[in-house]
């Protein structure tokens, strides 16, 4: 299964809404999709497992959704610390190529 994240780079301003897409090459169960945030020089952080189950300590401005082949990570109002890279993952193995959220 191949994961395709889009866009590669998302240019937005603080306070705006971010919508990140992760598409799988075939339909998958939602329990197999996870999302991570990765800041430079730090360990990645789990945001969601099971496509929409928020991990401990993750602010509620982050939400995960989707089913079948289309999954979405939404950040309702971007904070300065949110401008980093996000990855989706399938089955605890295959990662998407990542989406970089940058300041417009």
Partner 1 sequence: DVQLVESGGGLVQPGGSLRLSCAASGFTLRSYWMTWVRQAPGKGLEWVANIRQDGSEKVYVDSVKGRFTISRDNAKNSLFLQLNSLRVEDTAVYYCARDVGYAVDFWGQGTLVTVSS
Which spans of this chain sit near partner 1 (rule: CB under 8 A)?
31-34, 36, 38, 42-46, 49-50, 55, 85, 87, 89, 91-98
CA distances 86 to 37, 39, Å, are 5, 9
Q: Which is nearer to partner 1, 71 or 87 (CB)?
A: 87
Q: Which is nearer to partner 1, 64 or 83 (CB)?
A: 64
Say which residue the tokens 């300041």 belong to: 103
Q: How far is the CB of 76 from partner 1 (least distance, A)?
A: 22
Q: Is 32 helix (H, G, I), strand (E, B) or coil?
A: helix
Q: How far is the CB of 2 from partner 1 (least distance, A)?
A: 13
In degrees rounded to 5, what are phi and psi of residue 55?
-75, 165
């Amino acid at each position: 299964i191949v994961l395709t994240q889009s866009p590669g780079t998302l240019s937005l301003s603080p306070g705006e809404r971010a919508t990140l897409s992760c598409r799988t090459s075939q339909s998958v169960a939602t329990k197999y999709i996870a999302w991570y945030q990765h800041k430079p020089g730090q360990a990645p952080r789990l945001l969601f497992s099971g496509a929409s189950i928020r991990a401990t300590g993750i602010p509620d401005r982050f939400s995960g959704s989707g089913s079948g082949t289309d999954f979405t990570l939404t950040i309702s109002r971007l904070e300065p610390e949110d401008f980093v890279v996000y990855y989706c993952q399938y089955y605890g193995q295959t990662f998407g190529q990542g989406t970089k959220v940058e300041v417009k």
